[in-house]
Chains A and B, each alone.
Chain A
Amino acid sequence: MFPKPIQNSSRGWQATYQALVPTALVLWLLPLIAVAIFSIKPDVDFTTGNYWGMPSSFEGASNYGKVFFGSDMPRYLLNSVLITVPTVIGAVALSCMTGFALGVYKFRGNLLLFFMFVAGNFVPFQILMVPVRDLTLDMGLYNTKTGLVLFHIAFQTGFCTLFMRNFIRALPFELIEAARVEGVAEWRIFWFVVLPLMKPAIAALSVLIFTFIWNDYFWAVVLTQGAESQPVTAGITSFNAQYRAAYHLMSAGSIVAALPPVAMFFLMQRHFIAGLTLGAVK
């Protein structure tokens, strides 16, 4: 273990460390803590210049109430859910199949196709922007959730394929061979042998893609406008235009927007990190 375990060092250093960690955390999260405090402050605190002092009264309930009942926020949240969930399902389903094909079969062009997915996943969004926007307009899907979902599924399939293919390659290949000797059909091997083994990968990708899509801003701006189809990231900016000086409402709105991926992360932490660190540990 590196650095040296703290238990082996002097009492004094141990105590210092115990105090240092929370202090560092508070400093690290200071911007977020500030927003959390902003979100429970009353309006008057901002007009009287009490930005950083204690809240003069606790207005959390009314601030969050206004966000939920007096703004478009619930609608944006719903849109985000309706965009994110189908994307996760679609991208994971497609990449289970592509990953299986690329990981299990030997055929000409295997590596080439794999590299196409990997490279495509890393391109700058801007090179896709004009054609994809056009395509979406032509299909009559501009400013719809479906338009966003279809694009997201296609694009995320790149990353998911990279992940799935590497995961499947690490599985014991003997299982598949044994099934083939038994004469099991290929799709049954996929469904009954490989897919059950892929559960951890599916979980990891699902949380990861959920976060990516929930937090997407660029495509939301390019492919949608207006509250009927925009997700919460784009919504919060129009919220910003509407409540520019209402810092308490903006803060509450930001926290509401940030909460779902945070909750996802805490519930599925192990899988989330497994997904992020793909390839970083051998």
Chain B
Amino acid sequence: MNLAPETRSSASASGSRDSWLRRNRQTLAPWLFLAPGVIFFLFYVIFPIVQSFNLSFYRWDGLGDPQFVGMENYRELMDDRAFEVSLWNNLKWLLLYLLAIPAGLFIALFLNQTVTGIRLYKSLFFFPFVISQVVVGLVFSWFYDPTFGLLNQVLGWVGLGPLNVLGDPTLVTYGIIAAGLWPQTAYCMILYLTGLNAVDPEQVEAARLDGAKGAKMLWYVIIPQLRPATFVAFVVTIIGALRSFDLISIMTNGGPFGSSRVLSFYMFEKALSEYGFRMGYGAAIAVVLFLIMLCFIAYFLWSMYQDDKGGR
């Protein structure tokens, strides 16, 4: 990369009668290559973010003229009980979803052996991640069903239940998170399985000779080497937790009594459902969610920047 200017000077020295275009092609080329992607991205992603910020200061039903109301939408959010519930549920999602990371590590360690057929087992364990959350949601709502669900059958065998997980305001969010953990754990498992492949066997051997084993070995030798995998797992899990929408929409539609709403779902409900097309109010909710996400995005970009400085 740092050799590029030299190459350019040598190229232009070889032919002094090169056209301007030819001489500047290395300055122009990146912009030509970037143009379609950047234009598309600005048009569909970056501008809409700005527009949403702007819209959050308006009252708008999506049809007539938007009416400027200043901070009104945000003020209303402060006393909105449903917003508060959504925020709390988002926090539950954030914390509990992170369980996918240790769970994924556990399964990865369990499967990190070389026995016949293990490759097939690994891919079958990964299955839940490949199928759509819509299907996962349907499957889990049958699993939880109070009349015939498998969960209550099992609870019945040990003399517990019956439990109506999705109909109980205190349990419902945990029930949905559990469904979400299923595919997410599979994802973290794959990350760790790949990470374990790259663990330096010599270090493991050396530590073994020093008498390290089991939990000690895991904590002091293996987990530090799995840092890159842990980082990616952390990023995708946080983003996944804050983006959770499909499962809630499929399994409960926010109910019972709105107790399983999260910000992403509540925003959709406010802006695009029969409860009223309150675009401005929805945009305000989206802005709050965006700002929460932005903390994590900033952290992620910062560590990528640190990484990049080391590169070429």
Contacts and interface: CB of A to CB of B under 8 A. Distances in A.
Contacts of B308: 111
A281 B49 contact: no
Interface string A49-86: 10110000000000000000000000000000000000
A98 interface: yes
Contacts of B312: 169, 173
B138 A123 contact: no
A42 interface: no
Contact of A280 (B114, B148, B228, B287): B228
Question: Which range contains the number of A residues in contact with the other chain?
Answer: 35 or more
B206 to A, nearest CB: 13
Contacts of B217: 2
A169 B272 contact: no
A2 B242 contact: no
A95 interface: yes
Given A34-B143, A126-B267, A277 B232 contact: yes
Given A94-B40, A98-B37, A115-B301, A130 B246 contact: no
Contact of B286 (A127, A151, A278, A280): A127
A252 to B, nearest CB: 12
B43 to A, nearest CB: 7
Interface in B79-123: 109-115, 118, 121, 123
A167 interface: no
B165 interface: no
A281 B195 contact: yes
Interface hub of B11, B113, B125, B282 (most chain A Cβ within 10 A): B113
B34 A262 contact: no
A233 B132 contact: yes
Interface string B172-206: 00000000001000010011001111110100100
A198 interface: no
Given A127-B49, A150-B44, A277-B191, A34 B139 contact: yes
Nearest to B34: A101
Contact of A155 (B33, B45, B153, B194): B45
Contacts of B204: 1-2
A199 B29 CA distance: 22
B166 interface: no
30 contacts: A2-B109, A6-B113, A18-B115, A21-B111, A24-B110, A31-B139, A32-B131, A34-B142, A98-B38, A101-B29, A101-B34, A113-B34, A118-B304, A122-B296, A124-B290, A126-B285, A127-B283, A129-B268, A154-B40, A155-B44, A158-B41, A169-B312, A173-B1, A181-B10, A214-B132, A258-B131, A262-B127, A277-B194, A278-B232, A279-B232
Interface of A: 1-7, 17-18, 21-22, 24-25, 28-32, 34-35, 38, 49, 51-52, 94-95, 97-98, 100-102, 104-107, 110-111, 113, 115-120, 122-135, 150-151, 153-155, 157-158, 161, 169, 173, 177, 180-181, 183, 185-187, 190, 211, 214-215, 217-218, 221-222, 233, 236-237, 240, 247, 250, 254, 257-258, 261-262, 265-266, 269, 273, 276-282
